[in-house]
Amino acid sequence: MAREITDSSFASVLAEGKPVVVDCWAPWCGPCKMMSPIVDELAQEYEGQVIISKLNVDENEEVCQQFGIMSIPTILFFRNGEHVDTQVGASRKADLKARIDALL
């Protein structure tokens, strides 16, 4: 299961030293609902290697503003605390795996 993060926990998650994937979503978003099981599967597959997390955009505006998130789902990818990639819109699991593998 992906880890829920917030504006207040965002920086500390990045500081943990592992690659981080942040799924920016909202409960009312249909494509986000489609992506949710895929994100949870990836969290299990990469457990211990990559932090796979979810950020509710309705409740966490700071991170959204910081990264210019205008559409959801948006998935942010971080390596060594630095933003290195962004996926906007629904995506296939294989495509997300390729982006995650590139972080390792």
CA–CA dist 61, 53 (Å, integer):
16
The answer to whether 35 touches 73, Cβ cutoff 8 Å, is: yes
CA distance 50 to 39: 12
SS3 26: coil
Distance (Å, whole) CA 15 – CA 72: 25
**Active site amino acids:** 29, 32
